[in-house]
Structure 1
Amino acid sequence: VDGPESYFEQHKYKTKISTNSMSQASDLDYDEFNKLIKLSDLLYYNEKQNLALSYKSMFTQWFLELQNEFSLNFYGIGSKRKILLQFVNQYLIYHIDFPVLVINGYNPSVSFKEIVLSVTSTIINSNKKLFKAQKFPKSIDELIASFIICLKNLHESQRYPKLLLLIHNLDGNSIKSNKFQSFFSTLVSTKQVWLVSSISNINANLLWDCNQTLDFNFLWHNLSTFENSTVETSFSDILALGQAEKQTGSKGAKYVLSSLTSNSRSLYRVLVSNQLQIMEDELLESNKQTDRNEFLGTIKHGISFKTLYNLCSEEFIASNEINFRTMLREFIEHKMANISKDSYGTEIVFVPLNLKELENLLAEELLV
C-alpha cells in the first residue's frame, strides 16, 4: 500500500490547461448545418411520431377548455407550430362556425396596425348584421377602444365567440411589447375571442402584469415535440446568433434566399444584376487593379427605388408598389439590402456586399 508520500508524488506537477477557446473553432457552413438539421429529423423519429399522436388525442380536452372560457397557452421543447395548426385545421374547423386568424409572432415584419385592422375587419365582415349600424373611427387607438366597448356591450344571446386567434410565439420579438399584449388580453377578456397560443421562452409570463394575466385566463399545457424550429428561425441568420449585428454575408444571403418565394428571389436578382453592372463599369473607368473581395457595394452603386420598381413591374415580379415594398422589406430586415436617401432626397436601394460575393450570389443562387 502506498504511503502518504504517494499523494504528493502524484500532485507535484501542475495540470496543463488548454488555452484554446470556442472563438477559435471554425465557422459552421450552411450546407453542413442543413445536413445536420435533416439528420436530426430522423433521430428518434418513431418516438416523436408517437408523442405527436398522444397530443392529438388531447384535442377534445383542449376544445372543452376553450368552451369553458379558458385560453390555451403551450410551452415546451421544440416547434409547436405543426401540432397547433393540426388542432385548428383538422379538429376545430369542424366544430366551430366562426373565422380563425393566425398570427406569426416570429415574423419580424408583423405590425401593430396590421394586426388590429385584421382582427377588427375579420370579426365585422363575418358578423355584418351585428355591426351594420356601427361606425368606427379611423384612428387605431380610438378604433380599439370603440371596438372593445362594442364587443362587451353585445346582448347575452349574442355572446358566442366571433373569432379564434392562433398566435405562434406569443413572446416573439415583434409582438412582445406591451401594446400588443394589452390588445390581445383585452380582446380575450370580452369573451368574444378564443385564444390558442404558444411560447418559446420559459420566462414569457413575465411579460404580463396581474390584470393581463387575469384577462388571458390561461391554461398551460406542456407541448414538447422535440421538432426543429425551421420555419420560426428562417427569418433570422441562425448561424449569426450571438454575434454583433451587421449585414448578412453571402452565405447568410444564400440561406435566406432558399426560403423565399420565386418573386422575391427575382426582385433580388434584378437588384444584384444592376448593381453588378454599375460596379463593373466603375472598375473599367478607374483602370485600377482593385481586389474584387474588397470592392464593397455602397449607396453610389445602388439604383433608385422608382427605377427598381419599374424594372420589377416590367418583369411582372410585383403587381403594385405595396407588394413591391413588402418584398423589399424582407431583404432590408435580413440586412441583405439597404435603402437610403442620396443628397437629392432620392431613395436609393443597394446591396452591402463586395463584388466577388455579388458575382457568386448571382451565378449560384439567382440565375439557376
Structure 2
Amino acid sequence: MPKGHQPFNSKSVDDLLEFLDGPQVEENDCFICIIVHNIDGPGLRDSETQQILARLASHIRIVASVDHCECTSLLFYMSLVWNKKMVHTQFNWGWYHVPTFAAYKVEGTHIPLILANDNTTQSAKNAALVLLSLTPNAQSVFRVLAEYQLSHPDEEGMPFDNLYTTCREWFLASNQVTLNFHLTEFNDHELVKTRRHSDGQDCLYIPLTAEALRKLLLEIGQ
C-alpha cells in the first residue's frame, strides 16, 4: 500500500466503492486486479452478484476464467447465463481462448462418477451436482429429455429431431447450434448417451434408472 494510505477494513461494497472513488487513490498510483475462477458458475448468476461485479469493474480490473470451454464467444455465452444488457453495457470484456486441453475428468476428479455408484439416491445426487453447475436453460433441456424417457420407458431413447422440436416450442433452443452446445455438455459429463434406434435414428437417453431419474428431477427442481 502506498505511503500515507490507511488500511481498509470495511466489508461493505458501498464503502469500498467510496474508497476507490476517493481522492486518496491517485490515478497512476496503483490498480486493483481481481481474479475470478469460473465466473459462469451458478454462484455468480444472480442479478445482485452480477451488479456488484459490474460496479466494481468500473474501478478495478477483472481477470476471469470460463468453465464451459465449448463456448467460442465469451459475450454470447455470458449473455446466456448473465443479464444480457449488463454484459454488453457495464463490462468491457476481452476474450482469450486459452484451453488447457485437459479432459473434463481431470477437472472434475472431486465429482463422483454418475455410473460408478449403484445407489439410486447417490446417483441422483451426483448427477444433480453436475446439472446445477450448468445454466438454467441447459437444465430445462435435460428435464425435457428426462420426462420423455420416463413417459416412454420401452423406447431406446428420444430422437434428436423430437428433442429439437420440443425445445423450439418451449423456447429453450432457437437453433440446433444451441441445442448441440447443451448436448455436448451433457455428453462430456456423462449425463446423456446416444444409441441407434431400430429405424436408424440416433436417440438420446439418460443412463439412470427410472427411480434415480425421478429423484434427480426433484433434486434440480428444489
SS in 1 for 2:204: strand
Paired with 1:247 and 1:109, the residues of 2 have a C-alpha distance of 25
Paired with 1:340 and 1:65, the residues of 2 have a C-alpha distance of 57
2:140 aligned residue: 266
SS in 2 for 1:349: strand
TM-score under structure 1 normalisation? 0.35
2:65 aligned residue: 104
Paired with 1:247 and 1:328, the residues of 2 have a C-alpha distance of 21
Alignment of 1:213-224 (within 5 A): none
C-alpha contact (below 8 Å) 2:125/2:219 kept by paired residues: no
Paired with 2:160 and 2:170, the residues of 1 have a C-alpha distance of 16
Q: Which amino acid in structure 1 is aligned with residue 58 of structure 2? A: Q
Task: Indicate whether 1:90 and 2:51 are aligned.
Answer: no
C-alpha contact (below 8 Å) 2:114/2:190 kept by paired residues: no
Specify which of 336, 339, 346 is matched with residue 194 of structure 2. Answer: 339
C-alpha contact (below 8 Å) 2:194/2:204 kept by paired residues: yes
SS in 2 for 1:324: helix
Unmatched 5+ stretches in structure 1: 1-45, 67-71, 94-99, 119-162, 178-234, 283-299
Q: Which amino acid in structure 1 is aligned with residue 11 of structure 2? A: Q
Rg: which structure is higher? 1
Alignment of 1:1-368 (within 5 A): 49=11, 85=53, 89-91=57-59, 104-111=65-72, 114=73, 165=94, 175-176=99-100, 241=110, 249-279=123-153, 282=154, 301-342=156-197, 346-366=201-221
Q: What's the CA shift string for 1:24-60, capped at 9, x where partnerless?
A: xxxxxxxxxxxxxxxxxxxxxx97938x95xx85xx6
C-alpha contact (below 8 Å) 1:250/1:361 kept by paired residues: yes
Paired with 1:361 and 1:242, the residues of 2 have a C-alpha distance of 16
SS in 2 for 1:319: coil
Q: Which amino acid in structure 1 is aligned with residue 215 of structure 2? A: N
Unmatched 5+ stretches in structure 2: 1-7, 40-48, 78-91, 118-122
Fraction of identical pairs, as percent = 23
Paired with 1:317 and 1:80, the residues of 2 have a C-alpha distance of 23
Distance 1:247 1:320, change over 3 A: farther
C-alpha contact (below 8 Å) 1:305/1:347 kept by paired residues: yes
C-alpha contact (below 8 Å) 2:159/2:201 kept by paired residues: yes
Q: What's the CA shift string for 1:91-112, capped at 9, x where partnerless?
A: 269xxxxxx9x8634333244x
Distance 1:64 1:331, change over 3 A: farther
SS in 2 for 1:165: coil
TM-align CA RMSD:
5.1
Q: Which amino acid in structure 1 is aligned with residue 59 of structure 2? A: Y
